[in-house]
Amino acid sequence: MLRAIALHLNLDENYFDAKIHNGNSILRPIHYPPITHKPKKDAVRAAEHEDINLITLLMGASADGLQVLNKSGEWISVTALPDQIVVNVGDMLQRLTNNKLKSTTHRVVNPPRKSGALQDILYPSFTPSIGSIFKLLAFLYK
């Protein structure tokens, strides 16, 4: 994925390789229990923030509630379907691209039904080829 990003930014395909060599990655499952009572007004499950890591991958079938902030300051709801991956740019990738890619500001709001998510947080050491993220980048940075 980082090689695709490098090519998208008109960099050498291997631009990120040395920067992620011997890094680490973590898999962090996140489970939001079902909502059994009406939440307090304006309550959220995770307040607005950016991730410190390189890339956060949200695997398909994550539940409703994830929202990303677009350039116009609007919150856009995002749900990964079973065969999809949502990619959030993290602070480290923003820094490595000299702010060309912005860290994804996001939050998790209370959905009306039960919720759960599996999140793969990647710190520098990510090499699998997962496919193109250009559609997602175009959507987030429109």
pLDDT at 19: 85
Q: Is residue 127 in some structural domain? A: yes
Q: Is residue 15 in some structural domain? A: yes
- The parts of the chain modelled with pLDDT lower than 50 are 114-132, 134
Q: Is residue 106 in some structural domain? A: yes
pLDDT tens-place string over residues 50-75: 999 898 888 765 567 889 999 999 99
Q: Is residue 38 in some structural domain? A: no
Residue-number span of the structural domain to which 129 is assigned = 2-33+43-140
* Cα(60)–Cα(71) distance, integer angstroms: 25
pLDDT at 70: 93
How many domains is the chain partitioned into structurally?
Answer: 1
Specify whether the CB–CB gap between 46 and 111 falls below 8 A.
no
pLDDT at 121: 46
pLDDT at 36: 78
Domain CATH code at residue 133: 2.60.120.330
Q: Is residue 88 in some structural domain? A: yes
Alpha carbon of residue 103 to chain centroid: 9
pLDDT at 123: 46
* Cα(67)–Cα(133) distance, integer angstroms: 18
pLDDT tens-place string over residues 88-102: 899 999 999 999 999
